[in-house]
Structure 1
Amino acid sequence: MYRLLIVDDEPVIVNGLVELFSEPNHLDLEIYWAYSSLEAVERLTKTKMDIVLSDIRMPLKSGLELQKEIMLQWPRCKVIFLTGYNDFAHVQEAMRNGSVDYVLKTEGDEKLLETVERAIASLKKEVEIDHLIQEAKRHILRALPSLQQEFLWDLLQGDPYSLQTMLKQFSDLQIRLDADASVLLVLGRVDNWKQDISPSDRLRLLYAIQNIAEEYMSVSSSVFSIVYDRSKLVWLIQPQVQGNSSENYIEEAWKRTILFIHGMLELLQSTCKDLLNLPISFVAASEPVAWRGTAEKFEALKSVFSQGFGMSTELLLIENDLYHHDPLNTIVSNGQVRLHLKKLEFLKSYLENGRKIEFFELYLDFMNIITVYPSHADSLKMEIYYSLFSMFLSQLNRHGLQNEMHNKVDINKPDQLEHNSWDEVIAYFSNLAEFLFEHQVNELRVKGNEYITKVEGYIKQNVSGDLSLACIGEAVGLNPSYLSRLYKQVTGQGLSSLITEVRMMKAKAMLQDKKYKIHEISKHVGFVSDHHFYRFFKKAMNMTPQEYRESVN
């Protein structure tokens, strides 16, 4: 639906045009009107307009002056001027300002409708998908660095969608890494910050570390780095090789790159100490991994920083060195488990956003982790149980459902031992999820009905006033476009049908009372002219208002 604002200082012209465009036709328009340019300006400050049909010559503020204000407020708005033969100089000036068409006052209704239809076609063309894509690409270029980091971070979190779309995203986001090749991970950490350092200075120093590292590493490698947890960094590294290189050449390139990167870390560490006065620790993978394995490798290397010798400062470790200190390979195993447990974040997101199918697909996989890592079974069961219990309890508290929940599922089981088996635990949390998803559906239905009641009440109380979508939306606190969709979704009919129905009911009721004159009834039910009311009533009832009055009396 498009919004059309009609502006003229002569009420007869305004009313006639409102009547013309209110008639049923193929144009999908919501009609607004103003009897002066100042009234139009006030309307334009409150409501976005798509098309303005205006006279050029008006007192206080001309149509040309009004057009300049429209272009400032709503640059995509199309302005159509009603003009006389002696206004062409003004029209030419207006057309130089853009988005302008004109209709001679001597031309008929068909020409007006055709011109408005042309304006609608122009609006549609401007928002065609190709245009939007080009606009989006221009915006992406400006936001490219942050979009690149966000996508690579999602890969490191094991996001399935990011892995599926990696090839296309690398191209779209201009990430200079090969989506089909392996990648080497290096993690860094600033061990200590000065106590008085500001957040902005901290960011600048992290950026400096990235610059120094890239200067050293990019001599023979393609490198991307990401900052995380405020004081840590991860580098994603690949050798620079041609796409048609042989497997032997690529293998040799990897050997050179790994040796170079591992050797360069010591220099990078000392440079950051000397130039930035920052103690830095590094943990590097010994071998590259496929992109699907980066999340697991990332978690394994991350765990080094949070246990044992990883707590010391100015650490410099290569993954192979870890195995001498970790003969049972617990670091790698812990990385795998931590990655699997990250699925809890996706479960929480699905639960909060009502995505029931995705939730249960992931939930069953998540709960079967104990069969994948039997050596961790007891501790995993405990961690999973309390994590899920906390997640569900938070959702129940947020929605105030504790009392209602008692009637369906017992939430007084904060201990895993209160269940007889792990299968019973799986069923327990499944029931909690079912209850919450059911509540979300019911809540949406109730909220929708509440808004519908407000809308219908407002229309009945203001049948003689402004019943535009913008005004109704403001009254009930909803965006006009969303309000229109919501009303049709809940009731099955459009808002315009409701307004017509309410106006007709009110008009019929008043026509049964002889104390009201027909022109009074016309104004009372929101028509800008008696003629428009007559035509509207006759079309709906197949008789004029006077004939209806006579038939009921």
Structure 2
Amino acid sequence: MYRLLAVDDEPYIVDWICEIAEVELGIELEIYRAYSVQEALNWLNRARIDIMITDIKMPDESGISLVQKVTRNWPKCKIIMLTAYAEFDYAYAAVESNVIAYILKTEDDTRILEAIRKAVRELDKELKDLHLPSNTNDTLPNYLLPIQNDIAIRILKGVITQKEEIISQLESVGIHIDAEAPFILVMSKIDGIPEKANKIARYNYRYTIKKIIEHYFTQYFHCSQIEYSDVIMVSLLQPKKGQNDEGDLSKDTSLKADEYYITYTKETLELVLQSCKENTGLDLSFIVSNTLLEVTQLRNEYQHMKKILLYCMPDGKGVIIGDTHLNEQKGISHLSLNLVQFINQYVQTHIAEDVSLIKLSEVTGYNPSYLSRLYKEVANENLSAYINRVRFDKAKNLLINSDLNLNEIAAEVGLNSRTYFNRFIKNITGMSPQEYRTHLS
């Protein structure tokens, strides 16, 4: 599922865009609102943005500046720009990268919907058409691959422990790393390889998956990959820093660099999951270290993460977790009902706050697409539908049993835009909030 962010300093514009996307688009998206550039940057720092619709002129910062930051931190993001006629040529000259449409604010709903559909088509196409190199073009000699894997696994198992020897051994088999720079450790489990697949077919599956991971990460990371077995792979992601503006991902974020690199990794792995499914038909699950690690810390973290990956991850679920979010004594498959119950309780308790899928992912430690899919499987209801039901029930109760004004009730149910609250109530009841309050009384 892709994520759309609408940005404008005029709330009614944001609410209009989100409403037509939710009601008329016919494509399931995660939809988020930002009523200022700062709100947009807050979302940008927390999660991947796939499609952004933004005004060009806003009081605190220009939409063009925002576009440059978004496409830097999430380079696959598709941009739709809202503009007045006089600004069109200026906007087109200022920002071309990733901008797929310029739309006048005077144009009708169909123009916005067409642009969003175009963005989704382009994102779908990019998942399928990666133009991966053939394994016949691989620069690593075939005889060196098992030696490379053997040395890397010995390091991860703690057979080789001294930093200098680790670096020397890795470089001897073509893995070049910076001994002083930290890593993110990612372990992946491949599910669904056909039982009848021969060694060549299995090798080709692993090769394709490795190249997909490299495709999504090499812009900002040095990526070293190790084949632990037919179905377990290890990736060492070392952030590129200090080379140039393209090599330091954390430059335009208010988060600490370590936090943002971890966020970027988890969010980008969602795209890897989708692309692997499109290109190989296989499901993957990932576990990601929750901090950047020094070379000498790899062994302990690897042993801990391997135990979780081998014994606690369900097959074919497309899970991405951080290593501290899973009780090693319980598999995720055994936690499904408990997880849904936890989400329900959290939504009920925090409905006045942020209960977005992004927030629920942060709270539970599971990737958004897994949470959304799991919730629907267990509860037989979309998570967004449940959240709206809780929101409406609380709004109805406050309209009947409180003296709060409509702005206060909107805030109590987590809708800080009055226009959004009005539309929310009217879409369900056919009446404005005040009319519905009168009707209830």
- The amino acid across from 1:46 in the alignment is R
Whole-angstrom CA distance in 2 between matches of 1:470 and 1:355? 22
Is 1:467 equivalent to 2:350 in the alignment?
A: no
User: How do 1:382-393 and structure 2 match up within 5 A?
Assistant: none
Contact 1:151 1:162 in 2 (8 A): no
Give the structure 1 partner of residue 387 of structure 2. 499
Q: CA deviation at 1:552?
A: 4.2
User: How do 1:50-61 and structure 2 match up within 5 A?
Assistant: 50-61=50-61
Give the structure 2 partner of residue 86 of structure 1. 86
- The amino acid across from 1:23 in the alignment is V
Q: Secondary structure at the match of 1:527?
A: coil
Whole-angstrom CA distance in 1 between matches of 2:206 and 2:334? 42
Q: Secondary structure at the match of 1:505?
A: helix
Contact 2:55 2:63 in 1 (8 A): yes
Q: 1:139 to 1:67 in 2, by over 3 A?
A: farther
Q: 1:146 to 1:507 in 2, by over 3 A?
A: farther
Is 1:141 equivalent to 2:29 in the alignment?
A: no
Q: 1:511 to 1:24 in 2, by over 3 A?
A: farther
Q: Secondary structure at the match of 2:351?
A: coil
What is the Cα-based RMSD across aligned positions, in Å? 3.8
Q: Secondary structure at the match of 1:96?
A: coil
CA-to-aligned-CA distance 1:319-369 (integer Å, 9 cap, x gap): xxxxxxxxxxxxxxxxxxxxxxxxxxxxx999947999xxxxxxxxxxxxx
Whole-angstrom CA distance in 1 between matches of 2:44 and 2:412? 25
Whole-angstrom CA distance in 2 between matches of 1:515 and 1:355? 49
Q: TM-score, normalised by structure 2?
A: 0.56
Give the structure 2 partner of residue 45 of structure 1. 45
Q: CA deviation at 1:74?
A: 0.4
- The amino acid across from 1:141 in the alignment is D
Contact 1:148 1:173 in 2 (8 A): no
Q: CA deviation at 1:493?
A: 1.3
Is 1:521 equivalent to 2:416 in the alignment?
A: no
Which of 349, 365, 378 does residue 477 from structure 1 map onto?
Answer: 365
Q: CA deviation at 1:525?
A: 1.5
Is 1:457 equivalent to 2:379 in the alignment?
A: no
- The amino acid across from 1:6 in the alignment is A
Contact 1:144 1:173 in 2 (8 A): no
5+ unaligned residues in a row in structure 2: which ranges?
151-192, 208-306, 316-327
User: How do 1:144-155 and structure 2 match up within 5 A?
Assistant: 145=142, 148-149=145-146
Q: CA deviation at 1:510?
A: 0.8
- The amino acid across from 1:111 in the alignment is R
Whole-angstrom CA distance in 1 between matches of 2:137 and 2:383? 38
Give the structure 1 partner of residue 153 of structure 2. none
Whole-angstrom CA distance in 2 between matches of 1:148 and 1:70? 37
Q: CA deviation at 1:85?
A: 1.5
Whole-angstrom CA distance in 1 between matches of 2:397 and 2:40? 34
Give the structure 1 partner of residue 72 of structure 2. 72
Q: 1:532 to 1:63 in 2, by over 3 A?
A: closer
Q: CA deviation at 1:146?
A: 7.9
Q: CA deviation at 1:142?
A: 5.5
Whole-angstrom CA distance in 1 between matches of 2:19 and 2:136? 42
Give the structure 2 partner of residue 165 of structure 1. 198
Whole-angstrom CA distance in 1 between matches of 2:144 and 2:348? 49
4+ aligned runs moved over 6 Å, structure 1: 150-153, 160-163, 169-174, 348-351, 353-356
Whole-angstrom CA distance in 2 between matches of 1:86 and 1:522? 36
- The amino acid across from 2:70 in the alignment is I
Q: 1:24 to 1:88 in 2, by over 3 A?
A: closer
Give the structure 1 partner of residue 96 of structure 2. 96
Aligned identity (percent) is 34
Q: 1:152 to 1:544 in 2, by over 3 A?
A: closer
- The amino acid across from 1:8 in the alignment is D
Q: Secondary structure at the match of 2:132?
A: helix
Whole-angstrom CA distance in 2 between matches of 1:173 and 1:454? 36
Give the structure 1 partner of residue 186 of structure 2. none
Q: 1:517 to 1:168 in 2, by over 3 A?
A: closer
Q: Secondary structure at the match of 2:353?
A: coil
Q: CA deviation at 1:9?
A: 2.3
Q: CA deviation at 1:127?
A: 0.9
Q: CA deviation at 1:86?
A: 1.6
Whole-angstrom CA distance in 2 between matches of 1:26 and 1:542? 21
5+ unaligned residues in a row in structure 1: which ranges?
154-159, 175-347, 357-397, 400-439
Q: 1:526 to 1:496 in 2, by over 3 A?
A: same
Whole-angstrom CA distance in 2 between matches of 1:509 and 1:538? 16
Q: TM-score, normalised by structure 1?
A: 0.46
Q: Secondary structure at the match of 2:401?
A: coil
Whole-angstrom CA distance in 2 between matches of 1:173 and 1:471? 33
Structure with greater proportional helix content = 1
Whole-angstrom CA distance in 2 between matches of 1:20 and 1:163? 48
